[in-house]
Amino acid sequence: MFVLGIETSCDETGVALYDAARGLAQGARPIAGLLAHALHSQIELHDDYGGVVPELASRDHIRRLLPLIEVVMGRAGADVKRLAAVAYTEGPGLAGALLVGASVAASLAFALGIPAIGIHHLEGHLLSPLLAPEPPRFPFVALLVSGGHTQLMRVSALGEYALLGETQDDAAGEAFDKTAKLLGLPYPGGPALAQLARGGQSGRFQLPRPMIASGDLDFSFSGLKTAVLLLTRQQAMDAQARADVARAFEEAVVDVLVAKCIAAIEASGLDRLVVAGGVGANARLRAALDAAGAAGGFGVHYPPLELCTDNGAMIAFAGALRLRQMQDSGSGIEESRKPGGFTVRPRWDLGSLSRA
């Protein structure tokens, strides 16, 4: 039972093929079902602009998507006629970019007479750690941390998500990118800032830890970004100073994220933490969370590094789970086969998802 996954929510075109019969079988590890995946990043396309240009992103998805589908099917040695469903990112994301993936998915599904399944982008990230060699079991606390989102969720089962806390302003990844720009680093800023911070001296500069003692599970990173702005205006920024600022900023973000994760684990009574999203690839964050887990007696789980950023594998996997759910419940499959258009949701609350 092959499911093709298509991800076009922002600036990466991702495609993957997942075999649900292999990966979702009793006793199997979900990663066994991932037959092939491919990703095209638009970093070079947007580099001159210092950020994503929506119209350019949409046009590039149009150029890349069909060739990537051919690459993935070729790597897997599979024919599109064997597909049982096509899963695509329905939202949230850039409207034009989402429309590219949705239109291709709907057209292919209609031509083959199979379901087209819209997937919530964040649900894909939430479930991506299940594709690790040692996947976590439900229920767990999840930290979604990326350029657009910083949220803590309680994940009880597929489709059962409860928001525990979220950022009140900038997401952590957004703060990384904006701070990197202040330090003169190229786009995308997060990885570049982390690289610069490795050569920084800890303790030279003191930056705030916003809301670390707020008593809730919410976040705020805009003030931290402003503190960096003021610091760079007050200090002569030679190469070492820039590295020291980057180190101070990264440590501040990590301290806040770790403190909130510990608080979420304690409040929930669960013993598993899942970390997903692009910032989840940050080495300092992973080391700090692993240490916190060892000290606090809870396990910490991540997706494979290559699946931390946007990718088609997480959409194909989520699509396979949703397809099995529809088959088990006996509802939704015929509706998903009907022609008549498709929808995208640039704004879509994760909590609105249901098991149905």
d(CA 57, CA 316): 21
Tell me the backbone φ, ψ of residue 192, rounded to 5 degrees. -65, -40
Q: What residue spans define the domains of the chain? A: 2-128+308-352, 137-302
Question: Letter for the amino acid at 114?
Answer: I
Q: What is the pLDDT along the chain (356 residues), one digit of tens a residue?
A: 999 999 999 999 999 999 999 999 999 999 999 999 999 999 999 988 888 999 999 999 999 999 999 999 999 999 999 999 999 999 999 999 999 999 999 999 999 999 999 999 999 999 999 999 999 999 999 999 988 899 999 999 999 999 999 999 999 999 999 999 999 998 888 999 999 999 999 999 999 999 999 999 999 999 999 999 999 999 889 999 999 999 999 999 999 999 999 999 999 999 999 999 999 999 999 999 999 999 999 999 999 999 999 999 999 999 999 999 999 987 777 766 666 678 899 999 888 875 44
Q: Which helix (H) or strand (E) holds 151?
A: strand 150-157
- What CATH number does domain 137-302 carry, 1.10.10.10, 3.30.930.10, 3.30.420.40, 2.60.40.1480? 3.30.420.40
pTM tops 0.85:
yes
- What's the count of helices (H) and strands (E) in the chain, helices before strands? 12, 10
Question: Letter for the amino acid at 109?
Answer: A
- Strands 12-19 and 2-7 come out as antiparallel
CB neighbours of residue 306 within 10 Å? 11
pLDDT at residue number 339? 63
Same CATH fold assignment for domains 2-128+308-352 and 137-302:
yes
User: Can you tell me which residue has the tokens 């031509």?
Assistant: 111
Question: Letter for the amino acid at 154?
Answer: R
Torsion of CA 159, 160, 162, 167, to 10 degrees: -20
Sheet of 299-301: strand order equals: 160-166, 150-157, 140-145, 272-276, 299-301
- What CATH number does domain 2-128+308-352 carry, 3.30.420.40, 3.30.470.30, 3.55.50.30, 2.40.50.180? 3.30.420.40
pLDDT at residue number 336? 67
